[in-house]
Amino acid sequence: MSAPASPRTMAPVDEQAAVLMSGVDYGDALLRRQMERELRALLEEDRPLRVYLGVDPTATSLTLGHTVPLRKLRQFQEFGHQAIFLIGDYTALIGDPSDKNKLRPMLSSEDIAANEATYFEQAARILDRGKTELRHNSEWLGKLQFPDVIALMSKFTAAEMLRRDNFRKRFDDGDAIYLHEFLYALMQGYDAFALNCDVQVGGTEQLFNLMAGRKIQQDAGQRPHVPVTLPILVGLDGKERMSKSKGNHIGVNDSPTEQYGKAMSLPDAILMDFFVLATNVPRSDLPGIEREIEQHPMEAKKRLARTIATEFHGEEAARLAQEQFERTVQRKEAPEEIPVHRVEAGQALLDVLVATGTAPSRREARRLFEQRAVLVDGVVASADAVATPGATVQVGKRRWLRLA
């Protein structure tokens, strides 16, 4: 008589697969079916899988775009799988060329260290901090010797690299493609091998890099991991990928007022994408939300803005952010509380904007003046204006200063 089968320790495979494959996109139906089969085979093993997401610290803050794969990683966590948040402090030295049609500027080690200072804290707003393994890929990439790099490069051909859409476009346009850019996919692929992962979460634009990891793992005798790729979240302009460097982002660390106001500037056509990709609203609510967008887009936009602010800051902060938006933007009233900044005699207003962080640089501050986005006591100010104590300064629709 055979022994009874051991009870499962993890959730049923069908239940896990339905959640973990929701929203996943490979751009190819056959590849999706293959990856789902492989994921199901892993889930049938009834053990915690090693699942990782890598993020390069190319800026000081994560954006709502980063939270798309982070939310998927959290879903794996909630089913009891081991989540690994990898900070790509070595891959950031090159910068991922996956979605770029030109060379990315290289960062220094000092820039990278400054950028990553609060990355895990920000990611932990989505992930379960106590159950997340934090790693840096400098742990293994920094130990590779030149013969190791040559061996890694020998697994791929130049033709494979040039088949990538962005590289092919640059090649066809006669734009320069530098050899170090080819290394990025190999480095990310090596991460998968070093972590001996079962699953890697990423954006659809990174699929080539994830598939490179499978090849490196298989060549080293490991079981190739399953890539789980999510659509790219566009930025506030509704066109380009959300990015802090493009200034079209909603930041994880933004204040509730900033998050609310930025969400209210989104084009109606992309509201549904934000509800689906960038919030935790119940999936059962989505059909009703879609109807609301069609019939009452302003109310749907407020719902989205309040949802985003609530998820990061709580209901009360979101309520206050909505009240301030309605007061300052819709009714064009000054907010009840305005930060006060003391100015020096003869100080340029442009320098005040930079000193208070209202503008990130003098160049950006000057651009705000050129766009007639700086008002002093309700009057458009010029770039050579002097800061006057007692004046109220409005920058754009949502930023205010009172000079003292």
Does the pLDDT of residue 250 top 70, yes or no? yes
Averaged pLDDT of the chain: 88
Q: Which residue has the higher pLDDT, 114 or 201?
A: 201
* Alpha-carbon gap, residue 378 to 121, rounded angstroms: 39
Mean pLDDT of 33-40: 97
Do the Cβ atoms of 400 and 338 come closer than 8 Å?
Answer: yes
Q: Please give the pLDDT value at position 77.
A: 97
Does the pLDDT of residue 102 top 80, yes or no? no
- Lowest mean pLDDT, pick from 156-160, 185-189, 376-380: 376-380
Domain boundaries, the chain: 13-230, 256-330, 340-403
Q: Please give the pLDDT value at position 92.
A: 87
User: CATH homologous superfamily of domain 340-403?
Assistant: RNA-binding S4 domain (3.10.290.10)
Q: Please give the pLDDT value at position 178.
A: 83
Mean pLDDT of 240-251: 85
Mean pLDDT of 292-303: 94
Q: Please give the pLDDT value at position 170.
A: 83
Bridge partners (DSSP) of residue 227 are 200
At 183-215, the pLDDT tens digits run 888 999 999 999 999 999 999 989 999 999 999
> Is domain 256-330 annotated with CATH 3.30.230.70?
no
Q: Please give the pLDDT value at position 28.
A: 93
CATH topology of 13-230 equal to that of 256-330?
no
Q: Please give the pLDDT value at position 336.
A: 67
Does the pLDDT of residue 319 top 90, yes or no? yes
> CA 266, 270, 274, 275 torsion: positive or negative?
positive
Q: Please give the pLDDT value at position 46.
A: 96
* Alpha-carbon gap, residue 298 to 269, rounded angstroms: 12
Q: Which residue has the higher pLDDT, 61 or 134?
A: 134
DSSP-derived secondary structure for 93-123: GT---TT-SSPPPPPPHHHHHHHGGGHHHHH
At 9-34, the pLDDT tens digits run 899 999 999 999 999 999 999 999 99
CB atoms within 10 A of CB 16: 22
Does the pLDDT of residue 403 top 70, yes or no? yes
Topology at the third CATH level for domain 13-230: Rossmann fold (3.40.50)
> CA 313, 318, 319, 320 torsion: positive or negative?
positive
pLDDT band of residue 3 (cuts 50, 70, 90) is: low
Q: Please give the pLDDT value at position 305.
A: 95
Do the Cβ atoms of 391 and 342 come closer than 8 Å?
Answer: no
Q: In 3D, which of 214, 16, 188, 7 has the Cα closest to residue 90?
A: 188
Q: Please give the pLDDT value at position 204.
A: 92
Q: Which residue has the higher pLDDT, 60 or 34?
A: 34
